[in-house]
Amino acid sequence: MRRIPKDAPTKIGDLFDVYRKRLRAPEGSVTSAVIEVVEDVIGIPLDKKSLAYSPQTKILTIKASGMVKTEILLRKEEILTHLKGRLGPKNAPTTIL
């Protein structure tokens, strides 16, 4: 019996599509991206201790001083747009509190 060859070989990248659809970015990579974006956009360096991110709800909470938090919230839309560009729309936070 002869085997019938497939039309085309499967690409390696296609094998991981299932995982790309299901997995989310971990908290650490999102917080490090937020630190970089905030420093680029506003010019204020942040600590990892001053941020908390919940991957399930996609909410980023800022625990910094009042002035820093106000400055970030004033440019919230710009920061979220940059994060969507870096992390992708699926992994980027949707809200900053």
Tens-digit pLDDT profile for residues 13-22: 777 777 777 7
Paired with 53 in beta bridges are: 60
Confidence label for 10 from pLDDT (cuts 50, 70 and 90): confident
CA angle (70, 75, 93) in 5-degree steps: 100
Paired with 95 in beta bridges are: 59
pLDDT tens digits along 68-89 = 999 999 999 999 999 999 998 9
Q: Locate all alpha helices (DSSP H) within the chain, ordered by sequence.
A: 17-22, 27-41, 66-74, 76-87
